[in-house]
Structure 1
Amino acid sequence: MTNFIPIFPLSIVVFPGEKVHLHIFEPRYKQLITECFEAKKSFGIPSVVNNRLQEMGTLVQVTEIVQTYENGEMDIKTEGLRIFRILEVIKQIPEKLYSGAIVNYPENDDYGNRELMQKVVMGVKQLHRLLNISKDFKKPEEQLKAYDVGHHAGLSLEEEYELLGLMKEIQRQEYIKRHLQKVLPMLLEMEQLKEKVKLNGHFRNLSAFDFDLGL
């Protein structure tokens, strides 16, 4: 399936199912949001990484205009729907301030491995404990998928974009698992270092080395 959508490029990655709050202030995007909301149409958020527009993005819908200010700026709520790939950017649209794109929608396999996902969730929880972060995913653990934890596993923007480009759930699970296997040992080492620093200068109850041992 190929179609035309208005686009709102941003330096973020939006995952399907994700709820994103945005503040709209540029005239072109105020026009885009107003038109999409009134017509109940979706628009695309293609990711901008390292100041370059990427080919992948997520189709989103405006679920609520929370507030409209006197100058026309808006606070809105959106929800990610599905991933698209840009085939062609249409920079100028007659009578529109915003740009658009011709896109298609890659097939996205949503079936992963439940045991693997449980390991991923356990790893994310351990990461949060080490960072003293409390996170409510607003879903039962057994319903969580890679997209639900994608922003909470310590991925960089570039890594989040790589995750967006994986069209099989099991690939996304593996990607996050490998990332956690890399960062968790480093964080544990840092945590041990912090404990050592805390002990420095304090009285410690240590047993003296017994020179007679083993003789």
Structure 2
Amino acid sequence: MQEFAKIAIFPIPDMVAFPGTVVPLHVFEPRYRKMVEESVARNQMIAVCNIEKQISPAKKNSSLQEVLTSNQATYQPRTIFSAGFCNPPEKTKDGRLYVTIHIAQRYKLIEEIQTLPYRIAKCSELHDDSTDSEALKPLQTKIVNSLTMLTSLESPPQVNDFDRVSWLSVDPISFSFKIFQLLRFDSETMQTLLEMTNPKQRLNTISEILNQI
């Protein structure tokens, strides 16, 4: 029997998160502050996801006080996203929250079960196709080599900070997600990569993009 998870949805334009990465967020809207606090209290996961479209715009030229006391733009989230658990938030004097979400897994939105003040959805895990991980090692090495070369060309002082050995020791399938702690492509490309369930295709695409830079 397929298991489902109830996940709070945090839609952010152009934001695509991958399993194995850590997402720091500055949360100021009342509904999402409430979402964070309630999710931490319930030990409920939060999905950080890209958007399908804007449903209603934010008020223009809002003051800081207005931003902190009223909800801003409303978005329709994508149906494939990643989620994880949130650390207890750091709260400022004016109520804003600084949080860190440890992204654990990909999910597919099955059914929205709460809309206000924020979305909660019933979701199912999105799994990769069965793959021989060892067969992906050459692709992983190719990507690490490309990143080493790009770093040496664009930011020579940071070459020593790029831990080549550690990245090569990561399981190739996990690597295909975790590498996005360092990499950033345009959001549509990243969304496409997130939705892929073929690890070899995902690694091939990453490698091809890096070769074009």
Q: Deviations over 1:170-199 (max 9, x none)?
A: 22211101112222xxxxxxxxxxxxxxxx
Classify 1:90/1:78 alpha carbon distance in 2 versus 1 (closer, same or farther; 3 Å).
same
Please give the secondary structure, in 2, of the residue aligned with 1:140: helix
Classify 1:141/1:45 alpha carbon distance in 2 versus 1 (closer, same or farther; 3 Å).
closer
Give, in angstroms, the shift of residue 129 of structure 1.
2.4
Mapped to 1, the partners of 2:212 and 2:49 lie a distance apart of 28
Higher Cα radius of gyration? 1
User: Which of 126-135 and 37-46 deviates more?
Assistant: 126-135
AA aligned to 2:48 is: I
AA aligned to 1:53 is: P
Q: Aligned to 1:33, which of 22, 32, 36?
A: 36
Give, in angstroms, the shift of residue 50 of structure 1.
6.5
For 1:81-160, what aligned pairs fall within 5 Å after superposition? 81-90=104-113, 92-93=115-116, 97-109=117-129, 111=133, 113-132=136-155, 134=158, 136=161, 140-144=166-170, 145-150=175-180, 152-160=182-190
Asked whether the equivalents of residues 84 and 106 of structure 1 are also in contact (C-alpha less than 8 Å), the reply is yes
Mapped to 2, the partners of 1:49 and 1:153 lie a distance apart of 22
User: Which of 8-17 and 108-117 deviates more?
Assistant: 108-117
Classify 1:17/1:120 alpha carbon distance in 2 versus 1 (closer, same or farther; 3 Å).
same
TM (norm. structure 1) is 0.73
Asked whether the equivalents of residues 153 and 176 of structure 1 are also in contact (C-alpha less than 8 Å), the reply is no
Task: Tell me the equivalent position of 1:7.
Answer: 9
Classify 1:28/1:44 alpha carbon distance in 2 versus 1 (closer, same or farther; 3 Å).
same
AA aligned to 2:4 is: T
Asked whether the equivalents of residues 60 and 78 of structure 1 are also in contact (C-alpha less than 8 Å), the reply is yes
AA aligned to 2:166 is: P
Please give the secondary structure, in 1, of the residue aligned with 2:177: helix
Please give the secondary structure, in 2, of the residue aligned with 1:7: strand
Count of aligned pairs between the two proteins: 179
Flag structure 2 segments of 5+ consecutive residues without an equivalent.
Answer: 55-75
Mapped to 1, the partners of 2:212 and 2:40 lie a distance apart of 42
The question of 1:57 aligning with 2:81 is answered yes
RMSD of aligned alpha carbons: 2.4
Mapped to 2, the partners of 1:79 and 1:137 lie a distance apart of 21
The question of 1:170 aligning with 2:196 is answered no
Question: How many percent of aligned residue pairs carry the same amino acid?
Answer: 21
Asked whether the equivalents of residues 112 and 121 of structure 2 are also in contact (C-alpha less than 8 Å), the reply is yes
Asked whether the equivalents of residues 56 and 85 of structure 1 are also in contact (C-alpha less than 8 Å), the reply is yes
Classify 1:87/1:39 alpha carbon distance in 2 versus 1 (closer, same or farther; 3 Å).
closer
Flag structure 1 segments of 5+ consecutive residues without an equivalent.
Answer: 184-215
Classify 1:56/1:132 alpha carbon distance in 2 versus 1 (closer, same or farther; 3 Å).
same
For 1:171-190, what aligned pairs fall within 5 Å after superposition? 171-183=201-213
Please give the secondary structure, in 1, of the residue aligned with 2:94: coil
Give, in angstroms, the shift of residue 106 of structure 1.
1.8
Asked whether the equivalents of residues 87 and 101 of structure 1 are also in contact (C-alpha less than 8 Å), the reply is yes
